[in-house]
Amino acid sequence: MPVERLTVERLKRRADFLLVAGSRRKYVTPAFVLQARVRDTSPQVRVGFTATKKIGSAVQRNRARRRLREAARATLPLAAAPGSDYVLVARAAALTYAYDAIVTDLRKALVALAPKGSS
């Protein structure tokens, strides 16, 4: 049986990021915080990435976001809940955490934040 892959788009507007943060649903790992919001019943998933200045210089923040973007690209189309918005907030450990561990933590976070009643 083929696995259904969802379409993933980017969150770009600040208002969208604030809506996701306002849902108060999050999963914390050493490398990132995943915030989630159920939007509607469409098969589309939206994701945004952010890193605060606590992480370090612009170079370090960009590196952390790139690592999270790659983990999301590999994981979200297969494991995300349809019709959801996600925001990945980078933490300082995202710079040194093993990539495989980031992907594993992201899968666990998606399962933990899945809407009730979804499989």
pLDDT at 6 over 80: no
Residue 26: Cβ-neighbour burial (10 angstroms; 0-12, 13-18, 19+)? middle
pLDDT at 115 (0 to 100): 79
Q: How confident is the model at residue 107 (pLDDT cuts 50, 70, 90)?
A: very high
pTM: 0.88
Could you read off the pLDDT of 56-77 as tens digits, one per residue?
999 999 999 999 999 999 999 8
Q: Is the CATH number 3.30.230.10 carried by domain 8-112?
A: yes
Span 16-44, pLDDT tens digits: 999 999 989 999 999 999 999 998 777 78
pLDDT at 4: 63
